[in-house]
């Protein structure tokens, strides 16, 4: 079976997505997610100008070889753009192979090891009362684990909470999409000290209201120094978090040694990683409990399966990134891995806007707090290419954060 064409579809039903369609000479088509939030067009060019032309005519069944052909053959290795392109090609080739085998993809990964993948929702509020209502709304929707993010007194915009309002015009809780459609990034002001003072009071109020059986997660979003991260982790220990995410940027992986030595709060990191080399020491030294690298960024099914099998040696579990900038195609790839990996931890499930499913279809299901892949051969997803053309790309950028004195800070 030969690769006849590699199509790259950019569409924006609710937010920008980049999707790869590999068309084989047998007519079987595979899909892959290549979305990098805020840098989508860089991946489009990498795929259209440097990947598609060298894949045409190659044997679509040779997934492992093509992975190395694109990784080692590029000479310039790793990075979010390169690896998103490789991830999408890999995902599409696995989609094709499972269609040829007439099986849902998870069967080719060794079959189920669980009946469903525990999912966590996003809940946010500009006040603790609003946050508590938002958590209850997610529990009413069937979720059994919730990530909570709160506004911080004195700051007008904080990661995880929509600017200025958290309800849409119909009073429904607005989905938080951090990438704002604008020609330039919006800017937010940050103050770590105010944040460190406020977050423990939020968890105290939420635990007071919901008790301790509800798994609660929180995302610090790369903003703290290692010492501040240790302070936060320690201050949250009384509230028994499922995990505290991205406590500090980890270009220097050994920075986590200090955090790990000072707090027992479980740590999750990795949504911005794309290679084992981003987290080798985090895993081998057990500096984290959950690894977040999803198939969309970590080299597809091939890359993430290897990564998670390596992580299993060190008792590190998965917690794949699952915001709306992971497309329904990428989410399906994650969920097939979720049910087949022994060292699964939890799956982020932010839920795409309804309009997204005017373009994409997926047989992934959510029930009783768990996600499941369908039984359709392949990934169980499709894209309506005609509908995709109705939603043209619009520039959208993640915010830039500044400290109150104007210094650029990690967003
Ligand atoms: C966040 C993301 O879901 C998360 O854990 O870190 O919302 C992240 O901000 C976006 O995916 C960035 O594109
Ligand atoms: Mg995150």
Q: Where are the domains of the chain?
A: 3-104, 117-379+397-409
Mutation to probe ligand 1, out of 179, 222, 271 (largest number of atoms < 8 A from CB): 271
Ligand 1 atom nearest to CA at 160: 7
Enumerate residue ranges in the chain where pLDDT < 70: 163-176
Classified as helix, coil or strand, 20 is strand
Using DSSP bridges, classify how beta strands 360-362 and 381-383 pair: parallel, antiparallel or unpaired.
antiparallel
Decide if 178 contacts 158 (C-beta within 8 A).
no
Decide if 352 contacts 365 (C-beta within 8 A).
no
Mutation to probe ligand 1, out of 17, 321, 401 (largest number of atoms < 8 A from CB): 321
CATH code for the structural domain at 3-104: 3.30.390.10
At 341-396, the pLDDT tens digits run: 999 999 999 999 999 999 999 999 999 999 999 999 999 999 999 999 999 999 99
CA 147 / ligand 2 centre spacing (Å): 10
Strand partners, 159: none
DSSP one-letter string for 149-180: EE--TT-S-BTTB-SS-SB-TTSPBPP---SE
Q: pLDDT at position 169, please?
A: 46
Q: Whose CA is nearest to atom 1 of ligand 1?
A: 323
CA 186 / ligand 2 centre spacing (Å): 19
Residue tagged 């240790």 (tokens):
230
| Domain 3-104 and domain 117-379+397-409 have a common topology | no
Confirm or reject CATH 3.20.20.120 for domain 117-379+397-409, answering yes or no.
yes
User: For ligand 2, a single-atom ion, which residues have Cβ within 5 Å?
Assistant: 219, 271
CA 119 / ligand 2 centre spacing (Å): 15
Q: pLDDT at position 180, please?
A: 81
Residue of 34, 30, 38 lying closest to 19 (CA atoms): 34
Alpha-carbon Rg for the chain, nearest whole angstrom, is: 21
Catalytic residue among 46, 71, 159, 239: 159
Question: From CA 21, how far away is CA 221, in angstroms rounded?
Answer: 32
CA 171 / ligand 1 centre spacing (Å): 24
Classified as helix, coil or strand, 113 is coil
Question: From CA 12, how far away is CA 21, in angstroms rounded?
Answer: 16
The tokens for 115 are: 């009946």
From the CB of residue 320, how many other CB atoms can be counted at a distance below 10 Å?
Answer: 33
DSSP one-letter string for 271-309: TT--SGGGTHHHHHTT--SEE---TTTTTHHHHHHHHHH
Strand partners, 119: 347
352 is catalytic: no
Strand partners, 218: 244
List, chain by chain if needed, residues with CB within 6 Å of any ligand 1 atom.
Answer: 37, 178, 219, 221, 271, 321, 323, 325, 348, 398
Residue 124 host element (H or E)? strand 117-125
221 is catalytic: yes
Q: pLDDT at position 175, please?
A: 54
Strand partners, 187: 400
Distances (CA, A) of 125 to 158, 304, 321: 11, 33, 21
Burial of 347 (0-12, 13-18, 19+ CB in 10 A): buried
Classified as helix, coil or strand, 411 is coil
At 286-302, the pLDDT tens digits run: 999 999 999 999 999 99
Mutation to probe ligand 1, out of 186, 247, 249, 325 (largest number of atoms < 8 A from CB): 325
Q: pLDDT at position 166, please?
A: 43
Residue of 318, 382, 325, 322 lying closest to 350 (CA atoms): 322
Classified as helix, coil or strand, 105 is helix
Prediction pTM value: 0.96
Question: From CA 315, how far away is CA 304, in angstroms rounded?
Answer: 16
At 144-176, the pLDDT tens digits run: 999 999 999 999 878 888 764 444 444 444 456
Sequence-distant (≥ 6) Cβ neighbours of residue 56 within 8 angstroms: 3, 4, 5, 6
CA 398 / ligand 1 centre spacing (Å): 10
């Amino acid at each position: 079976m030969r690769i006849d064409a590699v199509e790259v579809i950019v569409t924006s039903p609710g937010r920008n997505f980049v999707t790869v369609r590999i068309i084989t000479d047998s007519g079987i088509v595979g899909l892959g997610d290549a979305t990098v939030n805020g840098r989508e067009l860089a991946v489009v060019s990498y795929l259209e100008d440097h990947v598609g032309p060298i894949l045409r005519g190659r044997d679509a069944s040779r997934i492992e070889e093509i992975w190395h052909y694109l990784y080692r053959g590029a000479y310039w290795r790793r990075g979010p753009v390169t690896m998103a392109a490789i991830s999408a090609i890999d995902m599409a080739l696995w989609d094709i192979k499972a269609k040829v085998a007439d099986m849902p993809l998870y069967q080719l990964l060794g079959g189920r090891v669980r009946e469903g993948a525990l999912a966590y929702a996003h809940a946010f509020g500009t006040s603790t009362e609003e946050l508590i209502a938002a958590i209850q709304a997610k529990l009413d929707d069937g979720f059994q684990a919730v990530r909570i993010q709160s506004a911080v007194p004195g700051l007008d915009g904080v990661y995880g909470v929509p600017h200025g309002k958290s309800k849409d015009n119909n009073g429904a809780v607005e989905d938080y999409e951090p990438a704002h459609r604008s020609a330039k990034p919006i800017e937010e002001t940050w103050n770590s000290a105010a944040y460190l003072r406020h977050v423990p009071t939020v968890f105290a109020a939420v635990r007071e209201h919901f008790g301790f059986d509800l798994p609660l997660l929180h995302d610090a979003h790369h903003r703290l120094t290692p010492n501040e991260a240790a302070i936060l982790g320690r201050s949250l220990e009384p509230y028994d978090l499922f995990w505290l995410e991205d406590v500090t940027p980890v270009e220097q992986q050994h920075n986590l040694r200090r955090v790990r030595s000072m707090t027992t709060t479980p740590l999750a990191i990795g949504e911005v990683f794309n290679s084992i080399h981003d987290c080798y020491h985090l895993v081998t030294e057990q500096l984290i409990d959950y690894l977040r690298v999803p198939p969309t960024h970590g080299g597809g099914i091939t890359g993430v399966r290897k990564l998670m099998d390596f992580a299993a040696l060190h008792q590190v579990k998965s917690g794949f990134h699952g915001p709306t900038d992971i497309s329904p195609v990428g989410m399906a790839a994650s969920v097939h891995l979720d049910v087949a990996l022994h060292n699964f931890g939890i799956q982020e499930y932010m839920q795409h806007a309804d309009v997204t499913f005017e373009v994409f279809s997926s047989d992934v299901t959510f029930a009783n707090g768990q996600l499941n892949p369908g039984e359709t051969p392949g990934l169980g997803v499709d894209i309506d290419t005609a509908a995709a053309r109705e939603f043209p790309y619009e520039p959208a950028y993640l915010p830039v954060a500044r400290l109150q004195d104007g210094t650029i800070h990690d967003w």
